[in-house]
Amino acid sequence: MPEKEEKRLNTVRRFLNLNISKEKELQQIVELAARICNSSIAMITFMDRDFQHIMFSFGTTVKEVPYKDTFCQYTIAQKEVLIISDAAVDERVMHNPFVINDPNIRFYAGAPLTTHDNQNMGTICVFDQQPGTLSDIQEKMLHRLGKQVIQLIEFDASLQLLKVEYETSIQEEDKLRSYFESCSSVHLLLDKELRVLAFNKALLDILGNNYLIPIAEGMNCHEYVEPSFLEEFICNCGKALNNEIVKTENVIASPQGDISWHLTYEPALNAEGNIVGVSYTATDITQAMRHGKTVTEQEHAFLEIERIISGELHQPLKQVKSAIAQIKQKGYPEEVNEFAFLEYTAIELGEKFNAMFLTPPVIAPNLPTL
């Protein structure tokens, strides 16, 4: 199927699923078309691949017609009004079942319903049992009525799309608000003058419980920031307003004791990407810092134990090796294997010592045969 036709069918499917709110106005238009053209039947139709769907009508109760039996298949192939003065002699429709059978159609005129993206998705058309034609004024009026129909339908489509997008945005806002309020980290949004625009429950609780400060929108930073931290806070907010992201850790005094914080200052942007304020996030890392301090102290303790053990093992091992060296220097009978085993044992202890304290291993000699 050509890409253009597939695009047209997608448009038709979209309009077929549309919840049309302008039914009264569209019904008035189809009745007006019948009067203007002096015709007994008038329709507003959508044309898909298999059927002509009659959405609004005057003078007929038919709701659907097979595509191959329609007059309008020829109308949607062009941009202007199609007029068939006598269907009984027009080769395109002379064998149409609606021509040779009831209601014995003879006259037809149809204007395509052309969308803003140039897709002919249906027609506004009139029929009569007597041959006829349209004057220039009637033809222009039918064409204009077609434009009015598509404007009303596209208005409904746009309205429905906006409604869906609005509902989606509300859902996303609710999700964001839920995360914003349930997050344990402090979130604060400031304007360029560092006045409060928005904040989450975590900040409200911390300021209320620790400092007895009831934060509210519009407050200046001097009213809720700890005085000893104020200068640094203003400085980092200034960097964020200059499009710099600042991440730092700080210990801030509170009536309940010092609290360690991981702080982030970021530029707050509007939809156009312009900086409109500061986004401030603070995460309490006091417990993590205490845990890290404990781990560091444990590591130092292990290193000290290792140093002591190393010293206690190294000195006697050094003395044994020195004694073996002296015995070897003096010489000992080859048939006395105990000296060789003593040397082997000393080297094996040296290997274990080196392995324990991460020094290169010593290669032991072959064990003598008894």
Confidence of residue 265 (pLDDT cuts 50, 70, 90): very high
Threshold 0.85, pTM exceeds: no
* Spatial CB neighbours of 215, under 8 Å, sequence gap ≥ 6: 196, 199, 203, 204, 207, 208, 224
Confidence of residue 203 (pLDDT cuts 50, 70, 90): confident
Q: Provide mean pLDDT across the span 234-261.
A: 85
Query: β-strands 275-284, 107-114: how paired?
Result: unpaired
Out of 3.60.21.10, 3.30.450.40, 3.90.226.10, 2.30.42.10, the CATH code matching 3-162 is: 3.30.450.40
Q: What is the pLDDT of residue 15?
A: 77
Cα separation of 264 and 201, whole Å? 18
Please, what is the average pLDDT of the chain?
79
3 state SS for 17-31: CCCCCCHHHHHHHHH
Cα separation of 222 and 245, whole Å? 22
Q: What is the pLDDT of residue 370?
A: 34
Evaluate if residue 80 carries a pLDDT over 80. yes
- The most confident of the ranges 235-239, 268-272, 341-345, 347-351 is 235-239
Cα separation of 197 and 203, whole Å? 13
Q: What is the pLDDT of residue 145?
A: 95
Burial 252-279 (b: 16+ CB within 10 A, else e): beeeeeebbbbbbbbbbeeeeeeebbbb
Q: What is the pLDDT of residue 287?
A: 67
Q: What is the pLDDT of residue 182?
A: 59
* Spatial CB neighbours of 66, under 8 Å, sequence gap ≥ 6: 50, 51, 52
Q: Provide mean pLDDT across the span 318-325.
A: 65
Confidence of residue 17 (pLDDT cuts 50, 70, 90): confident
Q: What is the pLDDT of residue 368?
A: 41
Confidence of residue 259 (pLDDT cuts 50, 70, 90): confident
Evaluate if residue 279 carries a pLDDT over 80. yes
Evaluate if residue 227 carries a pLDDT over 50. yes
Evaluate if residue 163 carries a pLDDT over 70. no
Evaluate if residue 366 carries a pLDDT over 50. no
User: Class for domain 183-284, per CATH?
Assistant: alpha beta
Q: Which of 68-82, 96-110, 187-201 has the lowest mean pLDDT?
A: 187-201
Evaluate if residue 292 carries a pLDDT over 60. no
Q: What is the pLDDT of residue 170?
A: 64
Q: Provide mean pLDDT across the span 185-203.
A: 87
98-108: per-residue pLDDT in tens? 999 999 999 99
Cα separation of 145 and 58, whole Å? 15
Residue type for position 281: T
Confidence of residue 335 (pLDDT cuts 50, 70, 90): low
Q: What is the pLDDT of residue 356?
A: 52
Evaluate if residue 26 carries a pLDDT over 60. yes
286 versus 75: which is more confidently predicted?
75
Backbone angles phi, psi at 37, to 5 degrees: -95, 5
Domain regions of the chain by residue span: 3-162, 183-284, 304-356
Confidence of residue 362 (pLDDT cuts 50, 70, 90): very low
